[in-house]
Amino acid sequence: MASEYALKQQKYLYPAMKTYYADPLVLVEGSGRRVKDVTGKEYLDCFGGILTTSVGHANPEVVEAMCDQIRHIAHTSTCYLNVPLLQLAEELASLTPGALQKCFFTNSGTEAIETAIASARFHTKSHWIVSLRHGYHGRSVLATSLTGHAPWRLGTSEPGITYAHNGYCYRCPFHQTYPGCDVACARDMEELIRTTTDGRIAALIAEPIQGVGGFITPPPEFFKIAVDIARRHGGLFICDEVQTGFARTGDYMFGIQHWGVEPDLMVFAKGLANGAPIGATIARPEIADSWTASTISTFGGNPVTMAAAIATLKVMKEQDLPKHVAAMGKRMSDGLWKLQERCRFMGDVRGKGLMIGIEVVREGKAPAADLTTAFMDAARQEGVLVGKGGLYGNVLRVTPPLTITEAEVDEALEKLGRACDRVRDL
């Protein structure tokens, strides 16, 4: 029987806002890597509210910074400056690679994507955008149009967007194998631009690891080749770090640093403020300066959100999270590969750091969405929350808060192992 919460959901919420699980989970409390539902059952959180709770639920330093800021001033609008806004902008300029320097703050990843695309179009005076298939960039009309992922699209699309191949080695669109393929997926962009645009593009937009797409992780040369092609056609590189940013992929602060390419613009959201609503776009100064009209975001740069982000970055630095994430990510993915020996439905385990995807398949790599859902249910019963993604809804996403401890990784692996055993013969 549906719970009272499920009944209210059906009555008052858009059904398009799909929740996980047939019996939706209602969370009421969180601390560190643990959350509690409305019945009092506790879970080890291995999804972090879509890679957003980066330094743990109710992190004391973040909570204190937000409360302290509220006591001083909770809102200014962008008609006035506030001190944390300037502090965060300066910090992002120093953390990001290359010449990225000027920020615009918003409330969500979607708005930050809009800002980046408009900036690129103003700067280059071109309209065409190259986006990657299987990519996800948000829910506005423009961001949905940039999204090369059918289940998240409906109705009309903005003109001026063309979709390049991604680096999906497990299901290579060219039916080749890396490295013998010579990274044909990235090289194909040249012909795509020549045949489907007027030859001058405003930007290539891409996630270093495709999040909603199912943690598709392109080969090492992918971005050097693709960004070079984009630049030769006048395009800027907009790197969507909404999921991969801020230590998530381990070793570095940003996902793209694994590929050794410097973006012209970067887009942030999710993990930057540990759950406070935030979007940020950072650009090279001359690109930001090309936006000559006025623009405003009433809540963008909100001092409480800015304080949350500053405190989150402080925790990341103090705990050297890029290094910690690399170590915990290795421990988790080694454990998952080991699990694969007895759970053959785990077709691929991929990603970087604590951004680990498990592609769930049957014979001949057939996507197994039903098994993925069954696994999530089983994991929930065992007391672990994981997410899912992928064009076919068959990729489990394991992305705990970055502060997860060794003991918690081992606990997650043990519980996920039991969940595997429950469903592997289905």
Q: Which residues pair with 35 in a beta bridge?
A: 30, 43
Kindly write out the interface string for residues 59-98 of this chain, putting x where it contacts ligand PMP by CB under 6 A and - elsewhere: ----------------------------------------
Stretch that binds ligand PMP, among 114-122, 236-244, 321-329, 396-404 (CB under 6 A): 236-244
- Nearer to ligand PMP by Cβ, of 49 and 335: the residue is 49
Phi and psi at 409, nearest 5°, equal -60, -45
Beta strands in 322-367 (DSSP E): 346-352, 355-362, 366-367
- Position 328: which residue type? M
Q: Among 43, 104, 128, 136, which residue sits at the site for ligand PMP (rule: CB under 6 A)?
A: 136
- Centre a 10 Å sphere on the Cβ of residue 350 and count the other Cβ atoms it contains: 18
Indicate the residue whose CB is closest to ligand PMP. 109
Cα maximum dimension of the chain:
61
Q: Among 33, 102, 133, 137, which residue sits at the site for ligand PMP (rule: CB under 6 A)?
A: 137
Tokens of 253: 């602060």
Q: How many of the chain's residues bind ligand PMP (CB under 6 A)?
A: 16
Q: Which residues pair with 161 in a beta bridge?
A: 129
- Nearer to ligand PMP by Cβ, of 32 and 109: the residue is 109
211 binds ligand PMP (CB under 6 A): yes
Q: Which of 328, 335, 363 has the alpha carbon at shortest distance from 347? A: 363
Cα 368 to Cα 363: distance, rounded to the nearest angstrom:
10
Name the DSSP class of 290. Answer: T
240 binds ligand PMP (CB under 6 A): yes
> How far apart are CB 279 and ligand PMP at their closest, in Å?
6
Phi and psi at 419, nearest 5°, equal -65, -40
CB 181, CB 245: distance < 8 Å: no
217 binds ligand PMP (CB under 6 A): no
CB 113, CB 143: distance < 8 Å: yes
138 binds ligand PMP (CB under 6 A): yes
Phi and psi at 384, nearest 5°, equal -130, 135
243 binds ligand PMP (CB under 6 A): yes
Tokens of 141: 């009309």
Token look-up 């623009």 returns: 295
> How far apart are CB 151 and ligand PMP at their closest, in Å?
13
Footprint (CB under 6 A) of ligand PMP, residues 97-126: 108-110, 113
207 binds ligand PMP (CB under 6 A): yes
- Nearer to ligand PMP by Cβ, of 139 and 422: the residue is 139
Stretch that binds ligand PMP, among 24-32, 135-143, 171-179, 294-302 (CB under 6 A): 135-143
Dihedral of CA atoms 238, 239, 242, 246 in degrees, nearest 10, equals: -140
Q: Among 269, 306, 332, 395, which residue sits at the site for ligand PMP (rule: CB under 6 A)?
A: 269
- Nearer to ligand PMP by Cβ, of 105 and 345: the residue is 105
Stretch that binds ligand PMP, among 167-175, 235-243, 293-301, 352-360 (CB under 6 A): 235-243
Cα four-point dihedral sign 294, 300, 304, 310: negative
Stretch that binds ligand PMP, among 27-35, 136-144, 339-347, 413-421 (CB under 6 A): 136-144
Binding site for ligand PMP (CB under 6 A): 50, 108-110, 113, 136-139, 207, 211-212, 240, 242-243, 269
